[in-house]
Structure 1
Amino acid sequence: MLELREISKSYVTSALTQVALDDVSVTFRDNEFVAILGASGSGKTTMLNVIGGLDHFDSGDLVIDGVSTAHYKDRDWDAYRNARVGFVFQSYNLIPHQSVVANVELALTLSGVSRGQRRRRALAALETVGLAEHSHKRPSQLSGGQMQRVAIARALINDPEIVLADEPTGALDSTTSVQVMDLLQEVARQRLVIMVTHNPELAHQYATRIVELADGRIISDSDPVVGELEDADGDDGDAEGAGDGAGDGGAKGAGRGAARAAREAAALNDDTAQLPIISAGEQGDGSAAESNGAAEGDGATENGGATEGDGANEGTGGAVGRKESQHRTSRRRTDRAAKRRGHNKNRVDVSRPGRRPRRVSMGPLTALGLSFTNLMTKKGRTAMTSFAGSIGIIGIALVLALASGANNYIITTQERAMASYPLTIERVGMDLTGVLSTSAAGEAAPNDGKIHTASQLSNVTASMKTNDLTSLQSYLKGNGGNINKYVRTIEYNYGINPRIYLPKSSKGPVQVNPDVTFAEGSTNFGAFQSMTSTNIFKQLANDRSLYVNSYDVVSGRWPTAANELVVALDSNGRLPERLEYTLGLRDYGQLQNAMAKLRQNEGVKLKNSAATWAPQQILGAKFKLVNVPDLYKYDAKYKVWSARDNDAAALKQIVAAGTDLKIVGIVKPTSSGGGFGQSSVLSPGIYYTGALTQQVIAKAAASPIVKQQLADPKRNVFTGKTFEEEAKEHANPQIDLSSLITIDQDKLMAAFKFDPSSINAGLNNLDFSGMDLSGAVGNVQLDLSSLDLSQMPAIDLNGLDASKLDYSTLQKQFPQLANIDLAKVVQAALANGAIKPGGAQALSNILTQVVGGFIPWYAQHGGDDDGGGPGAPGQADPAKIAAAVTKYLQTEQVQKLLAPIFSGDTIIDRAKLTANLTQALGNDPAVQQIAENVSADLASQISSKVASALSSTVTTALSKAVGQLLQSSLNQLMTTLQTQLTAQVQNAMGQIMGNLSSAMQVDANKLKDAFKFNMKPAEIAALLTQLLNPNATTARANLLTLGYARADQPERIDIYPKSFADKDHVKSILASYNAEAKAAKQTDKVIVYSDLVGMLMSSITNIINIVTALLVAFVSISLVVSSIMIGIITFISVLERRKEIGILRSIGASKADIRRVFNAETLIVGALAGLLGVGVSVLVTIPANIYVADRFGVQDIATLPVAAGVILVVISMGLTFLAGLLPASKAAREDPVEALRGE
């Protein structure tokens, strides 16, 4: 039974409150046909929506079978609409993009009914309304009446207890209206049908009850439910109820619940049975309910469990027994009321077996199906949206395809390069990785204002080391680290380069290996040095599998014997031009001439033959293998081995006696073994087998020179000196070559003839008579007037030496002085004031007067001695200067000036001198008496001493001044003489040089006979080469030059891993080897090497990854834009599908279901965009790969990995899903009533 208790509903806007229902109370029986009449706006449709749970009342209560809905939640209303209510709308409200049968079975989908059962029940419902044959059609293909009947079938498909029809005939003609009303009347026999209509005639004709509304109130009710509840209060005759207890709110018993459960279990055996509706929350265990008739509980589930809330059943499942009693009691009441009204003839038994609550939820597949069919009705827009969304995916997919293809290409190149560039360990190794990492990780210099050193050079030298390859070879041959598991082969190279000659050319035998033609001129090639200095001849790896499968044999076969060679062409099957000369197809002498000009920095052009050669011409090439020790001859005198390869005659004989080598095959890389950027296993050239190397070593070991070097490893067989001596003498070599040549002096003199008359003719022409020296000689006079005598040196009287005085006369005159040291006594007497303080100044004044008088005197008397009369003023003959000075000092004038020195007390204080002498001689009276006499004599001697010093000073000063003047005058004279003599000599030498060519005659034949060499020229050159050769500094180097090597001393070890991954294992094994050596403190065994190929490829890979990340990040912007666009389009789709939203909500779809529908739509669009993007990208890569393969020979340069494609599709779906969340949420929040009204 359905009850409306004081229901009120108003629509409030900002300016108006519209009352739709005003305190409406009405009760409906379980099966009756109720027609609600009223004018427009009276509240009919609002009441219908409230009853159907589409709209919610503001106040009051809606009671269903005695259960209040006041506390229903959204999921409770969803279950109610799906399981207990069926809607029939005026405008049909069918989903246009779904078929008729899909529209009908949609409600069953929400209930969780299986697909097969849904289809059978939907067809049965269509059969009931007479439309089974139209099940596959779209609603737009049906008439209005047919669509309304489809709507009725949809309303009945879930066997609802209540059918709500809103103007079901409003859009139909009269005939069709009658058909629809008949159908509704039939439905009303088994359930409650409430119909809103404006047609009173149809209402009175078909309805069993008519309720009229006006202004939201019920104004009339033709058959209200009055007194029927009381009639049923004492009725306990229900055979199904086993209980006998009654409560205030209604009867209920455990036995009734058990009977209900039994019928439910029985009904499950028939999946096609039309089961009566059971409200959500009706299953239980028959527990007691509260007296108000509503059971409280918390065991609700959305998909058919007990309803949760205050108005729900108490316990985990609710009280099935109680509600089943309510159903049966209500129907009994209705039956009795119908009998009283006379309507019993139209009623059928509505007692139906119970069933389990059905799950009310839309599955993901249903949501996807709805959205997919909707998108298919808008194929154009869907395609454009998907394409727009795929643009970003296309960009990213292409970037990833290129990156993947490039990385795959790098990996393939690395694996191919393992044969061309294996993991190589040299005897002298460098850890280039460490050097680069150290340079890259260098710390910034501190900002302290100083210049700091960057230690690149020291880092490089520190990273270099001489590897102990002997120990490593032993470790590898013993399968150390289980290395054989990861390598194809390990090759040991001993640094032996066979000496191979081309026997015939325009210049005789030519050495073609090791190369000398390009090596000598390599410094002139600049950037091409590394390319032109490569040897043509190379050794094949011992493991043939490294190269055989990568090459096609053009002609002949692969070599097997030591004397067999193979020619490898380039990747295009062409013969490099240089090989034409090496093979003798073109004259090798032309190539040597060209290289010689290049060494002279001269331009040269080789003729481009652009020739083609038959394979037999190449296979016919012949070479000679020369044993290197055969090129050396022992010099017993100098005890050295000298080379003979510069002796053409000897070389020709040696080459002729060499071993024949022949070309037995021509090969080229396979189509998959070359191409742009791909390294061939064998670079173009001529290859020999390892057997040839072993033959060279064996022959060298048997040679005398090698045996001598092995016997005396400390001495250089090429120089005869020890290596230690060479190291010391290398900077300044001392070589005695005197015995190499003998000179015949007689023949040497006879080779030269000289005519002295030619020289004399020139000397005779010297004429000095014309030289004018008068002016020069006359000008050599000394201008004494220019002498500066103001700076004459002063006489220091304090420095008088008393030991120089003559005391013999005094000692004879006074015997008492014989035992006295007079020199000491006199020195003491002079030191204590005996010389007057002004004596020195007086003496200087006298000196100045004497010197100053010399110049006037010499001007007057200087020429008297030679009879020439007085000289010119201020002029003097230098030869007479010294004599003139002496003469001048003896003149009366000077003697007068000097007289105060010899007499008087001008210089010497005689009294003081006497006192000092007396004091110095002591207190002896006898001595005191003679002191005065001694003083007088000493004063005379001192005066003479001073006069003599004065004369010496004057003479020295004047001589020095005159000497300076004389030097200046002589320089003048010599300049004049040099100018005139130079002119005369130049004239004479010009004549002599003109005659010299005819004066000297050389007889070339006699000169040649004068020199005799004791060695042949070739022997001399070879000897000098060996003596001056700085390269052979160790016995090991000498032995390698001679072609000898020990089997346990390789120069290089080449490791060929099986794959790129195995290469990492090999490097790990080498790292473990180093770790073990360090742990054993055997650091000399630690090896250093560089994996150049790995470094380069790793760097390229890193660059590609970085660029890929940047491009992906850039292209991802388009993904964001596409996602925003898809979100907008999804929002538009929400607006377009509003009515569909209302329809889904009316049949029980929850908000989550609506959200799921639109999320499914965005996921479909995202999937389509992702698939389209990936598909287009794959299609684009096909022609791109074809072009690159054709143009550059690289296969599959753009390859999109499957995993990347799947991830891109998932990313596209994820982004579109995120973009559609807001529109989907908006759709879920749509009001069902408003949505149904929208178009």
Structure 2
Amino acid sequence: MLQLKNIVKDYVSGDETVHALKGVSLTFRENEFVSILGQSGCGKTTMLNIIGGLDQYTSGDLIINGKSTKDFKDKDWDAYRNHSIGFVFQSYNLIPHQNVLSNVELALTLSGVSKAERKQRAIEALEKVGLKDQIYKKPNQMSGGQMQRVAIARALVNNPDILLADEPTGALDSATSIQIMDLLKEVAQDRLVIMVTHNPDLAKQYSTRIIRLLDGKIVDDSHPYALKESKIQAAVDKIKYTSMSFATALSLSKNNLMTKKARTFLTAFAGSIGIIGIALILSLSNGVQSYIDGVEKDTLSSYPITIQDNSMDMSVMMETMMGMHEKETTHNDDKIYSRQMINDILETMSDKMTNNNLAAFKEYLESTDSKFQEHTKAIEYGYPLTLNVFNENGAAGLVQVSPNQLMKTLGLQEAMDASSFMGSSDSSMGMGNEVWAKLPSEKTMRDDEYKLVDGTWPKAYNEVVLAVDSNKEISDYTLYSLGLMDQEELAKNFKALQNKEEIEAGKQRSYTTKELLDMKFKLILNTDLYEKVNGIWVDRSDDEAYLKKVVDNGQDIKVVGIIQPKEGALSKSEQGGIYYTDELQEYVISHVENTDIVKEQKADKKINVFTGTAFSDDKKMDFSTLSDEQKMQLMTMSEEERLQFINSYNDALNSTYDGNLKKLGAIDLDSPSSVNIYAKSFDDKEAVADLINDYNEKQKADGKDANVISYNDIVGTMMESVTTVIDMISYVLIAFVSVSLIVSSIMIGIITYISVLERTKEIGILRSIGASKKDISHVFNAEAFIIGLISGCIGIGVTVLLDIPISIIVENLTGVTNIASLPVAGGVILILISLLLTTIAGLIPSRIASKKDPVEALRTE
């Protein structure tokens, strides 16, 4: 039984006092459907909030089951709302990051109902409103009518004595409104339903009693109820106070944080930086400098010193670019002037570009006077060799696999060619485009880099191995390139994608080792692509019939083994490919040398065998002839790409004797195009650099300046300042760690406060179903707790992961084990520290949240 006795409610607004209710007295039956009508601002919603315990009256008395509420404390009102009242709002007021089932269960969690019973009762309530099959949807996945049904189910799940509905059909269409009203009418058969509405027709059709308010007073009651004093019975039931478990608070906060994953992770990661710093200091202690030295030495000794036949002093280039603003001229007129930049850089490039005589250097390296062998584990020579390899048994027939034609098939060759800058299509390969490569010449290098998975290592010139990655996988790029998958089908799919058409998703394929070891390819020489016609040699590579005939007569190449990179190998293959040996390289070079076309070209160095005419005068690149666009593109290239471009440009100007030999694949093994020198250790690498300097000094002393070697050890240059940088980082880390935890705690407090502002309506919803101020505080303390836990775990996890490579490197270099190992107790303590600091940081925001007025919170959008 519910009774209002002379209820007065005043609001203070600035200097004025607003009288919302002026002595309202009402008595309600235990089960009836009451509609409260009146114009906006007459006090309808205020009266409903007072009945529901969300708002407190100024004077008078609200009597519940014969018990006065004048002495009710906050916890009494919370228990009253949770056990006796069910709210249904116009705007549904569902928690968006909770699913339907969790929204309905929420009131039961405050009542201390077990998890199994909560779920059963929530499903039963949803079944009553016709939503049993929607329990795992989020509110934003439902219609307005469905969301209002969820709100009704939530209001009924605790079996309240009173159901309060504030404009329940205000946001619904007519048809849906009727459904909701039918549902409320059915509910009113066994309990009191009080509805505030502006719709007198609905009130008249469904209500058993209509009360009209005007300016805070009752002006009409269609079916008043006068209760005799003798019938009033004081409530004897012990009040069951509500309490939200910390697990429920964690669940609510977890679901909210999951809707903002990126922000949560970034906040937690930022909060973990201090933990990472402290944990690393605990882990590394006095071994930090040993670790740094180990990393530096291991890295520098792993990368080779590379010497190209063409080289450029990059330090001079950098000095030139840095000095561009040193010469400044002041202009006093109103004109805009150009400033020399690109031309100066290009002129510097032209002046500083040198040709290394690698033939003489190779001869010295292999002589008895050389001391390089004492400090190196391998010296590898590179040659500009292009292998012409075909797969006769490809997925779509004959496929050229080297030079790789996949990009050309897809229409992307120009993007991959270094020579596309000139608009030519001479180049047969692009950087990183090839899937055929050469194994290291030295067996020790080969064994250091790769291990045999199946089959054997090549024993003859026509035997090769197939490389897979560390997971025994080969990229589909390689499979298409080798003809194992249909390139034409890929091209069709690519065009379809360009046309915004859908294609069937690719499926992962698998091959037995026997299938792969049975692969065979056909090798032909560059010279095989030319046929002598009327006294000159003609390129027949575009003649399919001729090409088929040449391929049929080509040399068989067999895959005899499958290899993969060793753990920690420098040359880790990410896509896989075919690796051939020095023997195959020498076979191709020697056979090209004995072909008629090469012999004819070498017999007369003045006549071009492709034209039958004399070669033109040798011309070199003139940078002044380049367009501004070409100059800018040249500047963006790497050194290797730039050199390749310049060579291609010179070839395009005129054919030369040397150019023809290069095109035919006629290579002198005594004149490599590059030399890679692999040092045994960091100290040996420095010794190799000294030996190169000694060699240069000797050449200068002998008057052979043309033999002086110029090279750029880019990795070495980058690592020169590592020690200085690491020292600086160490000092900064000490200072940073001392304040980072405090800063991160403040930041987490701010983030928690932002969450309070974002979840203001949720606070109102929780208070309306009986959550106490303490419960609200728990929710936001739980959010700070979760972020603190994630921060601590991220910090410890990152530290443990960093400890693994640190320990391995230090152990390999020094033999000391577990030099970087975080103690378990230290890790646990750091996580607890993270939890403590973030929880403290969240206390103020959570207290602010708990003090929010539930009525004002519910009005928040």
TM range (shorter): 0.3 to 0.5
Q: TM-score, normalised by structure 2?
A: 0.47
Larger radius of gyration: 1
The structure where strand makes up a greater share of residues is: 2
Higher relative contact order (CA 8 A, sep 6+): 2
